[in-house]
């Protein structure tokens, strides 16, 4: 059987990056490899300042910190495409961008998988204060079907959230 070749993409504020973020990628890689996949790389993509969270420091600094955080890694790198845009980019579009880049570099059989903490999954069924859903349901279906790796965090109840939303677990 051909090995599935994958890239792990981690989106987040990285405000600042922690060992928790980096362990998430290391754990995901170990787990994908034991399932027979080949992990070609990992990407940390800090969110743009346009995301608008008050505590978010300038993307220049968050980008520099993720660069520093992965300086000792031989497979994870940070990418400034998302945070160099002034406006917020939807996660599906960030995935699509990196999918395209990965295909250019590694060929059409490579797949970009989004890696999120369990706390992110719990926002899948939440609403903004203006009543609109945090995530569009089309985007979510796309993300979940294209490949999502979830790392539970203590206190997150993701199976319940995913089941309630009728997504199939991968």
68 and 22 Cβ atoms separated by less than 8 Å: no
Stretch that binds other proteins, among 15-23, 95-103, 138-146, 157-165 (CB under 8 A): 15-23
User: Shortest distance, CB of residue 32 to other proteins, whole angstroms?
Assistant: 12
- Strands of 49-109 (E only): list them: 76-78
Choice from 5, 26, 81, 101 touching other proteins (CB under 8 A):
26
Choice from 16, 27, 52, 164 touching other proteins (CB under 8 A):
27
- Strands of the chain (E only): list them: 5-12, 38-46, 76-78, 110-117, 148-151
User: Shortest distance, CB of residue 129 to other proteins, whole angstroms?
Assistant: 29
Is 98 an interacting residue with respect to other proteins (CB under 8 A)?
A: no
Return the closest-CA partner of residue 155 out of 125, 122, 127, 132: 122
Stretch that binds other proteins, among 19-27, 44-52, 79-87, 126-134 (CB under 8 A): 19-27
119 and 157 Cβ atoms separated by less than 8 Å: no
Choice from 4, 13, 37, 73 touching other proteins (CB under 8 A):
73
Distance spanning both ends of the chain, measured CA to CA = 19
Is 22 an interacting residue with respect to other proteins (CB under 8 A)?
A: yes
Return the closest-CA partner of residue 50 out of 7, 8, 93: 93
Stretch that binds other proteins, among 20-28, 44-52, 77-85, 127-135 (CB under 8 A): 20-28
- Footprint of other proteins on this chain (CB under 8 A)? 18-19, 22-23, 26-27, 29-30, 72-73
């Amino acid at each position: 059987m051909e090995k599935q070749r994958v890239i792990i993409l981690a989106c987040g504020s990285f405000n600042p990056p922690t060992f928790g973020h980096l362990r998430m990628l290391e754990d995901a890689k170990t787990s994908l490899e034991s399932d027979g996949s080949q992990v070609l790389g990992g990407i940390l993509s800090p969110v743009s300042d346009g995301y608008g969270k008050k505590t978010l420091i300038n993307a220049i600094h968050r980008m520099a910190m993720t660069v520093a955080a992965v300086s000792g890694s031989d497979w994870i790198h940070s990418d400034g495409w998302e945070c160099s845009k002034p406006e917020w980019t939807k996660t599906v579009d960030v995935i699509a961008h990196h999918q395209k880049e990965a295909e250019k570099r590694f060929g059409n059989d490579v797949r970009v998988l989004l890696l999120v903490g369990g706390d992110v999954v719990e926002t899948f069924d939440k609403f903004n204060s203006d009543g609109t859903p945090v995530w569009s349901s089309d985007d979510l279906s796309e993300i979940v079907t294209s490949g999502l790796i979830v790392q539970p965090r203590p206190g997150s109840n993701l199976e319940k959230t995913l089941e309630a939303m009728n997504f199939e677990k991968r």
